[in-house]
Amino acid sequence: MRHFFSLFMLLGGLCICAKVEAHIDINVVACKTNDTDPEDMVELDGDEIFYFDLKKNDAVYTMPEFVGQLTYPTWAQGAQANHQVCLANVKVVAEAENNPPEQIDPPQVTIYPRNKVELGRSNILICSVNEFFPPPVKVKWTKNNMEVKEGVSLSRYYPNSDATFRQYSFLPFTPQKGDDYSCTVYHQGLTEPETRFWEPEFQDESDIGETAFCGIGLTLGLLGVGAGTFFLVKGNNCS
């Protein structure tokens, strides 16, 4: 049994002209007995609306601007109260079950660029760390086997429907020939750190020219075959 957080799910229904639209509204309250990485966040249909920064005692709205300004002025007091309830519940449940060992799930790690890779054009590498429990994870980046720290950022962790978490690390970079990158993830569920490698792939101009030349040659060849067949058929008809 997981003792890290409490998860509350409300299923709401909206009826318009006899048509029912179901939405899932999730409020996640996460805490740990050592009080690291507490969280109080709200999702609607899988999209985060806002989260409450318990350390700064302030709500951070993450919905796009075009949705409009949303405010929850009374959430601060409730978030602090929820955090205390979460800590108390964790303690009670752990003692009731004779402090069973915490379930541990190792993360699944993937690395990919945010945008289409173009030589010399700035981009962002994303290291996705998914399906792990419990938080936290640590991510280390390298470029050409040298550790990179400048510009690196790590998102907050987000809940999955199976009570595991996901988190993302970002590395701004400019693709160049010969460069290679890696992200290494550390988590208590891994017997050793998990590393994924990535390097940009570019098509040389000479290869593009050869490909175009071959394509033109193939097209002309097919046209020639078609014309020869046509005249052959016409000649047979004339005879």
Q: For residue 20, what are the CA distances in angstroms to 8, 11, 46, 47?
A: 22, 12, 19, 20
Whether 91 and 141 map to the same domain: the answer is no
Whether 92 and 114 map to the same domain: the answer is no
Specify the higher pLDDT residue, 44 or 231: 44
Tens-digit pLDDT profile for residues 14-49: 334 445 667 777 777 877 665 556 677 777 776 777
Tell me the whole-structure pTM to 2 decimals: 0.66
Q: Which of these, 2, 181, 197, lies nearest to 109 by C-alpha position? A: 197
Count of domains forming the chain: 2
Range of the domain at 21: 5-96
Tell me the backbone φ, ψ of residue 8, rounded to 5 degrees. -115, 130
Q: Is residue 173 part of a domain?
A: yes
Burial of 145 (0-12, 13-18, 19+ CB in 10 A): exposed
Q: Which CATH number is 29's domain given?
A: 3.10.320.10
Tens-digit pLDDT profile for residues 54-86: 777 777 777 666 666 667 777 777 888 888 888
Tens-digit pLDDT profile for residues 169-216: 999 999 999 999 999 999 999 999 999 999 988 766 555 445 444 555
